[in-house]
């Protein structure tokens, strides 16, 4: 549960939203169409820093701004748009192509947008 201000100004979604607490299953994040959110990832310990956050279907999850590199991670603002299911994935600085690389750290979030 969140307060009304966060729902209006934008949710903060992070690593803890990737799994169901206490169960360990990867979760699907459900958002109403139009909901804005900021995805934040902290760099992995002893790993390459995160460099990209990419929406697999920009019609469903729209990137609102370019990603911002932080001292200890990365963040990017998105907006839920067309109803449907898609993912947002992150790769490290050693993956310049933007596609997932075998050598780079990789993680993803799954989103379900409803009207």
- The residues binding other proteins (CB under 8 A) are 1-4, 6-7, 11, 17, 20-23, 25-31, 35, 56, 85-87, 110-112
Q: For other proteins, which is the closer residue by CB, 14 or 48?
A: 14
Q: For other proteins, which is the closer residue by CB, 14 or 93?
A: 14
Give the separation between CA 91 and CA 76, rounded to whole angstroms.
13
Q: For other proteins, which is the closer residue by CB, 9 or 103?
A: 9
Give the separation between CA 73 and CA 40, rounded to whole angstroms.
7
CB of 69 to other proteins, least distance (A): 25
At residue 113, φ and ψ (nearest 5 deg) are -100, 130
Give the DSSP H or E segment for 4.
helix 4-9
DSSP 19: B
Q: From the CA atom positions of the chain, what is the Rg in Å?
A: 14
Q: For other proteins, which is the closer residue by CB, 70 or 100?
A: 100
CB of 101 to other proteins, least distance (A): 20
CB of 71 to other proteins, least distance (A): 26
């Amino acid at each position: 549960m969140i307060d009304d201000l966060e729902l209006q100004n934008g949710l903060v979604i992070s690593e803890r939203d990737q799994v169901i607490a206490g169960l360990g299953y990867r979760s699907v994040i459900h958002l109403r169409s139009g909901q804005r959110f900021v995805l934040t990832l902290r760099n992995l310990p002893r790993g390459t820093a995160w460099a990209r956050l990419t929406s697999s279907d920009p019609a469903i999850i729209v990137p609102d701004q370019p990603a911002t590199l932080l001292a200890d991670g990365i963040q990017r603002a998105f907006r839920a748009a067309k109803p449907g299911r898609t993912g947002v994935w992150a790769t490290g600085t050693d993956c310049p192509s933007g596609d997932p690389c075998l050598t780079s750290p990789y993680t993803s979030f799954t989103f379900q947008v409803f009207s």
